[in-house]
Amino acid sequence: MAVKGHAAPPTPWSKNLAEPKIDPTAYVHSFSNIIGDVRIGAHVLVAPGTSIRADEGFPFYIGDESNIQDGVVIHGLDEGKVKGDDGQSYSVWIGKNSSITHLSLIHGPAYVGDNCFIGFRSTVFNARVGNGCIVMMHALIQDVEIPPENMFPREQLSLTNNKPIAYRA
């Protein structure tokens, strides 16, 4: 159960931080940290040691049935937004039924679609990861748009002219 409290104190980027909006069916471990305009859907798991900090870039959206595993950091820049599936602008969008695994970094502007797996210690920054993608461990996904239904083994991820060379699962 999440520890109830007040919104974090103002920062240089956000003088009046919004309270997170967390669906009552979500499980947020008390050793996690959620600050600012973060919208967490139904049946989401937020594991211990996570930091979800919408104090500079915001808002963040985490879709139903997703899991944010131990040690994940989600943060965003003040500049740059992605379009969410609802047509609105977000610093970070994580779709439904996606897994952001241990010690990963999702740094906005970033979009992770539905049914995605972001592998251990991977980084997604200034990128769009399409629905159904699998990103293996220790990968850097930056400044690209990855088409849906692709798998990226860490050793084979490469870019050409800011377009990914896709390796289908």
Active-site annotation, residues: 56
Q: Give the whole-angstrom CA distance, residue 120 versus residue 51.
A: 16
